[in-house]
């Protein structure tokens, strides 16, 4: 039996309108299914229901709006189906029903009181939750980042459930909202991994894939990451781990806030299993992210999750004064807020002069210019590489940011063999 507060009862009675009544009915059912004893207040929501995947989403949102629904807590929007700043990327004639539906849905979410940020990496915004904050997340990489890197608390909420939580400001006290459910379960040791490799961005994408495969929905604890691991690198683990498994929370000893020590990560207990990361595991994960052979390149797609300011900072010296090969399409997806910072810094002109096109509000998965590309696509995102062969039916090559840029300029796939050679990999150093 779920204990309800006076506030919950009032919403459930319909005293606050039909929209909040329905939203509370949904949250109560979610609490019953998850075995929660009660609902708790949340201080923030990041919702994915704003992404158009059919008319049912529009109908549901229109009902909430027509019945006086508004969000009860600060609510951020995940990506939409279309780029509102660059509508030519998906003209209405390409799919009139979907484009009109997406525009209508995105407008409704703004009318419901959401802060329309249209980003899958909301943690890159200035305002973000802190350690112990109870929130509602929906996008898998953001859920993992919020829980792991910031120490906020959320389960992964599905479409409709996320906006109902935002409208009520309540969520079931279950899963990762509870202390005991945040205990580490599997220990991953990196002792045999060369420290130089642990500094490479590409390592974090591959490690994330391994964590997802090995952990499923259990909570991994990583022992051996350098204390200097950047937010971009932790973002890579979050995204890849959530893609290849169901990782919604990981701890990294000495790096993430709930794992100051190994004992903290396991809450004084012992791991269910210990896994020593081996070169064979990393090679298997790396190879799984590439399903195409070397050859001519059709496109490069960066920014899944959305490209950060510091990633642009790394990119600019690589592309300044250079030109992408005329037969290669080069796209970067980011949020409009990061794009503003890039423009203010004077980097946008450099990037565009190199022949790179920016995409905001959505993701390169969903942009038809990408869907229409023939041949191989290269990416530095483990998540993009993991999903693209199935979702876009494309040949994919996974590589570092430098490899992606060099390949785009040459027009052919180029790999830096030094990254994967040496005694550790069992291959002669180049």
Q: DSSP secondary structure string, 43-112? A: S-EEE-TTS-SSHHHHHHHHHHHHTT---SS-EEE---SS-SS-GGGS-GGG-HHHHHHHHHHHHHHHHT
**What pLDDT score does 429 carry?**
65
How far does Cα 29 stand from its chain's mean position?
27
For the stretch 294-316, pLDDT in tens is: 889 999 999 999 999 999 999 99
Q: What is the mean pLDDT of residues 151-164?
A: 98
70-79, 84-93, 156-165: lowest mean pLDDT where? 84-93
**What pLDDT score does 394 carry?**
85
**148 — pLDDT class (breaks 50, 70, 90):** very high
Map tokens 């592309």 to a residue: 319
Of the candidates 421, 428, 416, the one whose C-alpha atom is nearest the C-alpha of residue 194 is 421
104 CB contacts (<8 Å, ≥6 apart)? 58
Is residue 71 over pLDDT 90? yes
97-101, 320-324, 363-367: lowest mean pLDDT where? 363-367
- pLDDT: which is higher, 365 or 145: 145
**430 — pLDDT class (breaks 50, 70, 90):** low
Q: What is the mean pLDDT of residues 362-376?
A: 78
Mean pLDDT of the chain: 95
Is residue 372 over pLDDT 90? no
Q: What is the mean pLDDT of residues 101-120?
A: 98
Is residue 371 over pLDDT 80? no
The answer to whether 276 and 193 are in contact (CB under 8 A) is: no
**368 — pLDDT class (breaks 50, 70, 90):** low
pLDDT above 70 coverage of the chain, percent: 98
The Cα–Cα gap between 328 and 411 comes to: 6
**420 — pLDDT class (breaks 50, 70, 90):** confident
Cross-strand bridge partners of residue 46? 76
**CA–CA distances in Å: residue 361 to residues 3, 84, 121, 273, 371:** 39, 7, 11, 41, 17
19-23, 139-143, 255-259, 420-424: lowest mean pLDDT where? 420-424
Give the chain's radius of gyration (CA, Å): 22
Is residue 370 over pLDDT 80? no
**What pLDDT score does 390 carry?**
84
**CA–CA distances in Å: residue 407 to residues 146, 237, 285, 327, 353:** 33, 24, 21, 12, 17
Of the candidates 217, 220, 242, the one whose C-alpha atom is nearest the C-alpha of residue 387 is 242
For the stretch 50-67, pLDDT in tens is: 999 999 999 999 999 999
pTM for this structure? 0.96
Is residue 369 over pLDDT 80? no
Of the candidates 51, 149, 119, 137, the one whose C-alpha atom is nearest the C-alpha of residue 337 is 119
Of the candidates 215, 243, 177, the one whose C-alpha atom is nearest the C-alpha of residue 37 is 177
**103 — pLDDT class (breaks 50, 70, 90):** very high
The Cα–Cα gap between 70 and 82 comes to: 23
């Amino acid at each position: 039996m779920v204990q309800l507060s006076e506030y919950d009862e009032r919403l459930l009675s319909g005293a606050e309108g039909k929209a909040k009544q329905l939203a509370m009915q949904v949250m109560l059912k979610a609490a019953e299914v998850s075995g929660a004893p009660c609902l708790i207040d949340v201080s923030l929501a990041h919702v994915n229901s704003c992404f158009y995947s059919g008319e049912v989403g529009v109908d549901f949102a229109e009902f909430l709006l027509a019945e006086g629904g508004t969000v009860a807590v600060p609510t951020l929007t995940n990506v939409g189906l279309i780029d509102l700043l660059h509508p030519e990327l998906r003209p209405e004639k390409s799919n009139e029903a979907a484009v009109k539906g997406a525009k209508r849905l995105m407008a409704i979410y703004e009318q419901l009181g959401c802060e329309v940020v249209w980003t899958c990496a909301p943690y890159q915004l200035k305002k973000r939750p802190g350690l112990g904050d109870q929130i509602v997340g929906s996008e898998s990489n953001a859920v993992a980042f919020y829980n792991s890197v910031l120490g906020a608390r959320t389960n992964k909420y599905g479409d409709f459930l996320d906006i109902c939580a935002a409208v009520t400001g309540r969520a079931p006290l279950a899963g990762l909202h509870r202390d005991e459910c945040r205990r580490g379960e599997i220990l991953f040791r990196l002792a045999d991994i060369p420290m130089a490799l642990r500094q490479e961005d590409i390592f974090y994408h591959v490690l994330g894939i391994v964590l997802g495969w090995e952990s499923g929905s259990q909570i991994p604890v990583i022992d051996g990451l350098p204390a200097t691991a950047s937010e971009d690198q932790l973002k890579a683990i979050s995204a890849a781990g959530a893609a290849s498994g169901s990782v919604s929370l990981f701890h990294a000893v000495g790096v993430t806030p709930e794992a100051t020590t190994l004992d903290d990560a396991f809450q004084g207990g012992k791991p269910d299993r210990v896994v020593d990361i081996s070169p064979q595991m990393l090679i298997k994960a790396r190879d799984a992210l590439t399903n195409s052979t070397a050859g001519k390149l059709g496109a490069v797609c960066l920014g899944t999750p959305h490209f950060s300011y510091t990633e642009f900072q790394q990119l600019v010296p690589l592309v300044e004064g250079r030109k992408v090969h005329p037969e290669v399409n080069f796209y970067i997806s980011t949020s409009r807020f990061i794009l503003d910072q890039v423009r203010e810094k004077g980097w946008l002109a450099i990037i565009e002069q190199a022949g790179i096109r920016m995409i905001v509000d959505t993701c390169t998965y969903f942009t038809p210019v990408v869907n229409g590309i023939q041949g191989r696509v290269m990416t530095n995102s483990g998540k993009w590489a993991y999903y693209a062969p199935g979702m876009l039916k494309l040949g994919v090559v996974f590589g570092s940011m430098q490899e992606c840029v060099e390949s785009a300029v040459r027009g052919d796939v180029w790999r830096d063999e030094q990254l994967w050679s040496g005694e550790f990999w069992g291959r002669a150093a180049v």
